[in-house]
């Protein structure tokens, strides 16, 4: 019983410290994958990273669209839900922890529902692929090229001449 209280307190703390669980609507998922360029990655290297994957719905959708999809989730309860839904689906993986653990240079697409401060942390990691922000515009002073603003999504890439 005491471990349930501890788990609940940890979950509340993580929910308070990070982004809340806000699932992406099915219509928005369809819109996102309809807007993705066909030229993203080769079949062997077509990777999709969801920073804050929640229940894994975007991870599953990315796998259905030919990506090797990985989702990171920090909330232990939401992570378990996402892991459960992704189990047995080829090319999906849910990881418990911070998305900062991922090698972003190997990702064709990096997806984030996060504030401008989280986007700034993402930019600092220097991903080379397409970055998609759900609901939040990137900071204007960042060194990126906005490819498309198709609400609620922002599609952008870092300027290639400064990427390591």
Query: Would you give per-residue pLDDT tens digits along the chain (164 residues)?
Result: 787 777 677 666 655 555 678 888 899 999 999 888 776 766 567 999 999 999 999 999 999 999 999 999 988 889 999 999 999 999 999 999 988 888 888 888 999 987 777 877 887 787 788 888 888 877 766 677 777 777 788 888 877 544 44
**Structural domain spans, the chain:** 2-162
Distance, in Å, from the CA atom of 108 to the CA atom of 128, rounded to the nearest integer, reads: 8
Best CATH choice for the domain 2-162 from the list 3.30.2390.10, 3.40.630.70, 1.10.10.10, 3.40.50.150: 3.40.50.150
* Cis peptide upstream of residue 152 (ω within 30 degrees of 0): yes
Name the one residue in this structure whose structure tokens are 């922002």. 154
pTM for this entry: 0.81
Number of alpha carbons in the 13 Å side-chain half-sphere of residue 122: 31
Distance (Å, whole) CA 114 – CA 138: 10
In angstroms, the CA 69 to CA 49 distance is 6
- pLDDT at res. 73: 94
Q: Which of 36, 39, 82 is nearest to 58 (CA)?
A: 82
d(CA 81, CA 6): 18
């Amino acid at each position: 019983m005491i471990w349930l209280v501890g788990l609940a307190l940890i979950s509340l703390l993580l929910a308070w410290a990070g982004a809340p669980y806000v699932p992406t609507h099915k219509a928005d998922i369809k819109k996102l994958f309809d807007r993705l360029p066909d030229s993203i990655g080769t079949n062997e290297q077509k990777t999709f990273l969801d920073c804050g994957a929640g229940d894994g719905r975007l991870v599953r959708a990315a796998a259905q669209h030919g990506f090797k999809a990985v989702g990171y989730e920090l909330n232990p309860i939401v992570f378990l839900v996402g892991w459960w839904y992704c189990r047995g689906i080829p090319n999906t993986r849910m990881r418990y922890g911070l998305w900062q653990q991922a090698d972003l240079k190997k990702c064709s697409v990096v997806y984030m529902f996060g504030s401008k401060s989280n986007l700034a942390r993402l930019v600092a990691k220097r991903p080379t692929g397409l970055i998609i922000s759900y609901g939040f515009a990137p900071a204007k002073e960042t060194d990126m090229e906005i490819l498309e603003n198709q609400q609620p999504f922002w599609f952008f890439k870092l300027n290639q001449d400064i990427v390591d």
